[in-house]
């Protein structure tokens, strides 16, 4: 489904000021708020859509990127896994926007009600070959995560009666003051353990090994972190699961060197092949290809195979494969070969006569980046 324009989502024009953007979002958020639209999937989708639009447009840097590139600017960025933001992200990030005027929310933070406890995140490293990076890959990975132990039951916290908050009234010289703080018996969750099996920890959780399928888009880079929402450690009671943070590692390739989205390949050709011309098979990330090497090729020549590099993570096309020609000069020669080259020393065909097309290495590098 095509994504709607963020300005259209919030019903504002491109020139809207920061306060207009905020006002527009607040209006949409209240209209589609889950408390007002219980069990209404469409309202929930609209609520999320508005939050996403606000997340981008309320941030000057993200807004500038969006204005320039549109949705492409954020593909594979925040909303990895297709889930986008979840409701808790929205409330924890933008909860303050509802401050005053709109009452607290059931089940979420923000307005000062009960908090849903979130399980901790898991961080895993995934090693990928260049081929996997170029084509995108789905990895099945075994993870050890905390899950609610079967047989664990929870009950409403008797200290805070399930509100997650403890209110205290103190007498001060200014009069009676009411303060509330998170309940320290249940940690603000509003629930405590009723029964748990022997192998569960204090929170009623135990370690389970699970296989998680992780879709990795093409074009990722070393050190990049992807989020798989809800696949981290579970939380006790009605809390929400943490996330898995996938850290990308790139395995070095035997023949190909990556530089951004471009790839480099060093091709060695014999002296004879350089003189006579030949064809050579080279490695690419999508298999081997045969390329033609013209007769009279110079060492340092770069052959550019367009689109044979790595796809851009943002979806703007693909990089190129740059094949660097290195002419291999023989180091040992037979007597006859030596004689042959001695005779060629003064030969006019062996005399270097560089033309414009035989640019020096530095000129070529300059061209590549211009």
- What are the residues binding Zn ion (CB under 5 A)? 157, 159-160, 183, 185-186
- Nearest to Zn ion of 128, 183 (CB atom): 183
- Nearest to Zn ion of 160, 274 (CB atom): 160
The answer to whether the beta carbons of residues 85 and 206 sit under 8 Å apart is no
- Nearest to Zn ion of 109, 319 (CB atom): 109
- Nearest to Zn ion of 181, 270 (CB atom): 181
**Minimal distance in Å, beta carbon 236 to Zn ion?**
12
- Nearest to Zn ion of 165, 312 (CB atom): 165
**Minimal distance in Å, beta carbon 115 to Zn ion?**
11
**Minimal distance in Å, beta carbon 119 to Zn ion?**
18
- Nearest to Zn ion of 161, 360 (CB atom): 161
Structure tokens at 154: 């929870």
**Minimal distance in Å, beta carbon 162 to Zn ion?**
7
List CB contacts of 366: < 8 A, sequence separation 6 or more.
none
* Rama region for 242: left / alpha / beta (φ>0; ψ in -120 to 50; rest): beta
DSSP sequence for 203-219: TSEEEEEEEEEEEE-TT
Distance CA 225, CA 244 (A): 10
Distance CA 297, CA 301 (A): 7
Beta-carbon-side half-sphere exposure of residue 169 (alpha carbons within 13 Å): 2
Distance CA 274, CA 296 (A): 6
**Minimal distance in Å, beta carbon 135 to Zn ion?**
51
> 240-275 burial, b for 16+ CB within 10 Å, e for fewer?
bbbbbebebebeebeebebeebbbbbebebeeebbe
Query: 15 in helix, strand or coil?
Result: coil
End-to-end CA separation in angstroms for the chain: 37
Q: Which residue has the tokens 């040992």?
A: 332
- Nearest to Zn ion of 32, 108 (CB atom): 108
**Minimal distance in Å, beta carbon 35 to Zn ion?**
22
- Nearest to Zn ion of 58, 156 (CB atom): 156
The answer to whether the beta carbons of residues 319 and 284 sit under 8 Å apart is no
**Minimal distance in Å, beta carbon 187 to Zn ion?**
8
**Minimal distance in Å, beta carbon 20 to Zn ion?**
41
Please state the length of the chain: 370
**Minimal distance in Å, beta carbon 218 to Zn ion?**
47
Query: 340 in helix, strand or coil?
Result: helix
Nearest CA to 46 out of 24, 59, 31 is that of 31
Nearest CA to 48 out of 71, 68, 77, 25 is that of 25
- Nearest to Zn ion of 190, 232 (CB atom): 190
């Amino acid at each position: 489904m095509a994504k709607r324009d963020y300005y259209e989502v919030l019903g504002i024009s491109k020139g809207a000021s920061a306060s207009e953007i905020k006002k527009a979002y607040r209006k949409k958020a209240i209209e589609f708020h889950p408390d007002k639209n219980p069990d209404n999937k469409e309202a929930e989708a609209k609520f999320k859509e508005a939050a996403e639009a606000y997340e981008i447009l309320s941030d000057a840097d993200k807004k500038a990127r969006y204005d320039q590139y549109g949705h492409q600017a954020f593909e594979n960025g925040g909303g990895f896994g297709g889930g986008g933001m979840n409701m808790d992200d929205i409330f924890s990030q933008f909860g303050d926007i509802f401050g005053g005027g709109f009452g607290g929310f059931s089940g979420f933070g923000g307005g000062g009600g009960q908090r849903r406890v979130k399980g901790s995140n898991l961080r895993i490293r995934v090693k990928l070959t260049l081929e996997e990076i170029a084509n995108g890959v789905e990895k099945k990975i075994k993870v050890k995560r905390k899950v609610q132990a079967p047989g664990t039951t929870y009950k409403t916290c008797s200290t805070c009666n399930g509100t997650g908050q403890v209110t205290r009234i103190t007498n001060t010289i200014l009069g009676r003051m009411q303060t509330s703080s998170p309940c320290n018996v249940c940690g603000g969750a509003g629930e405590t353990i009723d029964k748990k099996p022997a192998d569960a920890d204090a929170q009623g959780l135990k370690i389970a090994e699970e296989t998680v399928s992780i879709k990795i888009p093409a074009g990722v880079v070393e050190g990049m972190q992807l989020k798989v929402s809800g696949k981290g450690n579970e939380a006790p009671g009605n809390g929400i699961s943490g996330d898995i943070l996938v850290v990308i590692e790139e395995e070095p390739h035997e023949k190909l060197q990556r530089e951004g989205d471009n790839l480099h390949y060093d091709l060695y050709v014999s002296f004879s092949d350089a003189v006579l011309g030949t064809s050579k098979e080279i490695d690419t990330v999508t298999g081997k290809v045969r390329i033609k090497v013209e007769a009279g090729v110079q060492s340092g020549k770069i052959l550019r195979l367009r689109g044979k590099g790595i796809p851009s993570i943002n979806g703007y096309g693909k990089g190129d494969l740059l094949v660097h020609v290195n002419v291999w000069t023989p180091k040992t020669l037979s007597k006859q070969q030596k004689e042959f080259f001695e005779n060629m020393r003064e030969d006019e065909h062996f005399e270097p006569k560089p033309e414009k097309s035989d640019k020096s290495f530095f000129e070529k590098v300059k061209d590549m980046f211009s």
